[in-house]
Structure 1
Amino acid sequence: MEIAKNNFELNDLLQNINGNLGFVPTMGSLHEGHISLIESSKKLFDNTVVSIFVNPTQFGPGEDFEKYPRNENNDIAVLKRHKVDLLYLPSASDVYPNDYAPISFTSPLTNKLEGALRPGHFDGVIQVVYRLLSLVNPDGIFLGKKDAQQLKILSLMIDQLTLPVKVHACEIIRENNGLALSSRNAYLSKNDKVSASTIYKGLLSAKAEFRSGSLDTEVVTAAFIDSIDPSIIKNIDYVSIVDQATFTPTNGSINSDALMLVAVRFGSTRLIDNIELTI
């Protein structure tokens, strides 16, 4: 595996790559969710590039930028084991040089749900992904479905700016108890992890209620709440059912292609998850 630690090394190494290119952007602290993206890229593309960059612009005041899990040596070992072709380890000055001009892309979706609770978060995500795409110039980018709102926003950006890259959305990877894998799971206590595992139980109950014929938003939402650990109900930031194509909230009656999104707090840690509500 080649490693580029700045833009000059990246350009040199990219010039020597033959064939098409799949790209997996990460913030490191790699887990099986990231590995699934890498393996998906390897199946479809001749070469796979992974970036590790903890992006400061997507963290708000008081968030966990400074303590975000970082383990570069372990991440490098994981990537070598999975035969990644190229690792890009940029500094902030590589991603955001002094002459960097932010792109102009806005969407109402950036201010809803996660965007409402984390002002400016998606603006930072948009900027870093656009910048990484312009540096790596991949043929495909691999993103996880766990961050469903982020996936939708980045897909809109790529489409509206007509960027020459295809988005590949990959399934959520879970622990054996159903908890969606996340680097932030490292913050959870053992008791938190047990309680957090009931989030998926609630999502499955909501999906079962929907598939049984219930189309009422309140009824399906109640199925979720009734199935999670009662102690975490007070910590719910949101439970929202949206149309998958438009991310418009369902208004009373759920259509046949919807998505339930949830966010729950465990101390200062917020976990997000979702499930498709399809017939």
Structure 2
Amino acid sequence: MELIRQIQDMRNVISNLRADKPSIRIGFVPTMGFLHQGHASLLQAARQQCDIVVLSIFVNPLQFGPNEDFERYPRDEARDLALAEAAGTDFVFSPSTAEMYPRPSKTKILISGVTEQLCGASRPGHFDGVGIVVTKLFQIIQPNAAFFGMKDAQQVAVIKQLVTDLNMPVEIVPCAIIREQDGLAMSSRNVYLQSEEREQALVLSRTLKQMERQTIEAGGDLPTAELKQAIRKQIEEMPLADIDYIEILAYPDLEPIERLKDAKQVIIALAVRFGKTRLIDNVIIQLQE
């Protein structure tokens, strides 16, 4: 495994790989580091589907708001590199902020329609920052396929829209949420949780699982407002829970619906703070072929 920190060095590696074997398939896993088994599962999927696996580690300042946790976002490069190598990664691209943004960017990427809801509503500007960094990374790595976890299902929808609209020759491969044994969705931010906060945070996966079961049993013939109220009631039983949003939308276009059966596929998405830690989780339910 090779660690690369400069953009031009990364470009040169990709150029040489394609010159040696034009048909080579390059898989890419973009991350902000502090890797866990969820990231490892993305790398393993890339390993199975591609000839070369490239991982990026970059904590992107443009997707953090002024009161968010950019400075305290967990970082552990040595641990990340060990996990990446064990998962079969070939190259790790880990640039500095100055390397990625040597001067303030005058280019903006505004993706509308799928960014105003969910995290886009509560974190204004977040997906503008995601759009810029993903576009830059795709330009540098030029992957055939990029692998993203469905824990951030809105991000997957946003990036698919970006790739479609700009005719980027990149296949976006969504990968299933990886959970801890107790059901908590794996996240780099889980390290912030105090023991009682973590215990109460299990209400998210527990509630989603229950609502998925109810939806399937009812054939999707449930009003979204009623279901959202039932979810809110369960989460509010946890005294440390501070709800950011509870949403039920069509997926992937993220349009509002009155009844679940109004869409072929729906997402039940949650964002809840436990102490200072904001957690997201979701379930996607297929209702029609």
Q: Structure 1 residues 184 and 22, CA, compared in 2 at 3 Å: closer, same or farther?
A: same
Give 2:113's match in structure 1, choosing from 108, 111, 117.
108
Normalised by the size of structure 2, how large is the TM-score? 0.91
Q: State the partner residue of 1:15.
A: 15
User: Shift in Å at residue 128 of structure 1?
Assistant: 0.3
Structure 2 residue runs of 5 or longer lacking an equivalent are none
Aligned partners of 2:239, 2:157: CA distance in 1, in Å?
27
Counterpart residue type for residue 286 of structure 2? T
3-state SS of 2:184 partner: coil
Q: State the partner residue of 2:227.
A: 220
3-state SS of 1:35 partner: helix
1:3 corresponds to 2:3: yes
Q: State the partner residue of 2:237.
A: 230
Q: State the partner residue of 1:53.
A: 58
3-state SS of 2:130 partner: helix
Q: Structure 1 residues 233 and 99, CA, compared in 2 at 3 Å: closer, same or farther?
A: closer
- Where do residues 63-212 of structure 1 align in structure 2 (5 Å cutoff)? 63-98=68-103, 101-212=106-217
Aligned partners of 2:285, 2:68: CA distance in 1, in Å?
31
Aligned partners of 1:223, 1:155: CA distance in 2, in Å?
31
8 Å CA contact 2:240–2:274 kept in 1: the answer is no
- Of the structure 1 ranges 177-186 and 234-243, higher mean CA displacement relative to structure 2 is found in 234-243
User: Which digits, 9 at most, give the CA deviation of each residue in 1:55-80, with x for residues without a partner?
Assistant: 00000102100010000011111112
Q: Structure 1 residues 143 and 232, CA, compared in 2 at 3 Å: closer, same or farther?
A: farther
3-state SS of 1:181 partner: coil
- Of the structure 1 ranges 168-177 and 103-112, higher mean CA displacement relative to structure 2 is found in 103-112
1:257 corresponds to 2:262: no
- Of the structure 1 ranges 211-220 and 78-87, higher mean CA displacement relative to structure 2 is found in 211-220
Counterpart residue type for residue 51 of structure 1? S
- Of the structure 1 ranges 22-31 and 203-212, higher mean CA displacement relative to structure 2 is found in 203-212
Structure 1 residue runs of 5 or longer lacking an equivalent are none
Q: State the partner residue of 1:267.
A: 275
Q: Structure 1 residues 82 and 30, CA, compared in 2 at 3 Å: closer, same or farther?
A: same
8 Å CA contact 1:32–1:173 kept in 2: the answer is yes
Normalised by the size of structure 1, how large is the TM-score? 0.94
Counterpart residue type for residue 217 of structure 2? S
Aligned partners of 2:108, 2:242: CA distance in 1, in Å?
35
User: Shift in Å at residue 220 of structure 1?
Assistant: 2.4
Q: Structure 1 residues 42 and 102, CA, compared in 2 at 3 Å: closer, same or farther?
A: same
8 Å CA contact 1:205–1:224 kept in 2: the answer is no
Give 1:242's match in structure 2, choosing from 249, 268, 285.
249
8 Å CA contact 2:47–2:88 kept in 1: the answer is no
Aligned partners of 1:108, 1:218: CA distance in 2, in Å?
22
3-state SS of 1:74 partner: helix
- Of the structure 1 ranges 26-35 and 203-212, higher mean CA displacement relative to structure 2 is found in 203-212
8 Å CA contact 2:260–2:266 kept in 1: the answer is no
Aligned partners of 2:128, 2:76: CA distance in 1, in Å?
26
Q: Report the aligned-residue RMSD.
A: 1.8
Aligned partners of 1:122, 1:177: CA distance in 2, in Å?
30
Q: Structure 1 residues 71 and 104, CA, compared in 2 at 3 Å: closer, same or farther?
A: closer
Counterpart residue type for residue 262 of structure 1? L
8 Å CA contact 2:117–2:254 kept in 1: the answer is no
